[in-house]
């Protein structure tokens, strides 16, 4: 592995570690936002705790050397819509950094929370206001934000 690859991997871990600290420091506010924005029937018990646990496991994985296989906050996800056979990229962000017009969506948004923690190859029935849409996760990139 080259020095640039090692530096890139270290940068990813450092970014996710900062994110983990931010989430833990703002846990109550983020959890309240999740509860407020998520219909009762769509809520996942311990949503933020599950995310924190997955992120901690990733950070501690000494053997990981890329590419990303799980959707985390700060990643860009390429999905394939099954019906249209078209791909779309979504950047998963913290709520304050979302810009839906640029496909930058909050992890607390309806689409963001359904993509969060999914793996490459997962097939999802995404619940949208007018029904469901079948898609699969094709690729996950680290965006650096």
Given a cut of 70, is residue 28 above it in pLDDT?
A: yes
Strands 104-106 and 86-93, bridge-based pairing: parallel
At residue 118, φ and ψ (nearest 5 deg) are -75, 160
At residue 110, φ and ψ (nearest 5 deg) are -55, -45
Paired tokens of 136:
């699969």
Residue 136: partners with Cβ closer than 8 Å, 6 or more residues away: 79, 80, 82, 121, 122, 123, 124
pLDDT in tens, 95-120: 999 999 999 999 999 999 999 999 99
Given a cut of 60, is residue 145 above it in pLDDT?
A: no
Residue 144 pLDDT: 63
Domains of the chain: 3-142 (3.10.50.30)
Buried b (16+ CB within 10 A) or exposed e, 68-104: bebbbbbbbbebbeeeeeeeeebbbbbbeebeeeeeb
Mean pLDDT of 34-46: 89
Given a cut of 80, is residue 31 above it in pLDDT?
A: yes
Given a cut of 90, is residue 81 above it in pLDDT?
A: yes
Mean pLDDT of 56-60: 92
Mean pLDDT of 50-72: 90
Mean pLDDT of 36-60: 92
Mean pLDDT of 72-83: 95
Mean pLDDT of 68-85: 94
Contact assessment for residue 138 and residue 82, using Cβ atoms and an 8 Å cutoff: no
Higher pLDDT, 130 or 1: 130
Instruction: Describe the crossing of helices 47-60 and 3-25 by its angle, rounded to 10 degrees.
Output: 150
């Amino acid at each position: 592995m080259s020095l640039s690859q090692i530096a890139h991997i270290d940068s990813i871990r450092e970014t996710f570690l900062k994110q983990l600290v931010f989430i833990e420091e703002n846990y109550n506010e983020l959890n309240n936002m999740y509860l407020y924005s998520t219909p009762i029937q769509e809520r996942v018990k311990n949503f933020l705790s599950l995310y924190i646990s997955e992120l901690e496991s990733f950070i501690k994985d000494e053997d990981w050397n890329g590419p990303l296989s799980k959707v985390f906050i700060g990643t860009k996800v390429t999905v394939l819509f099954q019906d249209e056979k078209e791909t779309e990229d979504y950047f998963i962000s913290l709520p304050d950094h979302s810009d839906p017009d640029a496909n930058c969506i909050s992890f607390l948004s309806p689409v963001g929370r359904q993509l969060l923690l999914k793996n490459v190859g997962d097939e999802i029935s995404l619940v949208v206001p007018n029904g469901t849409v079948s898609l699969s996760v094709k690729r996950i990139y680290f965006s650096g934000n």
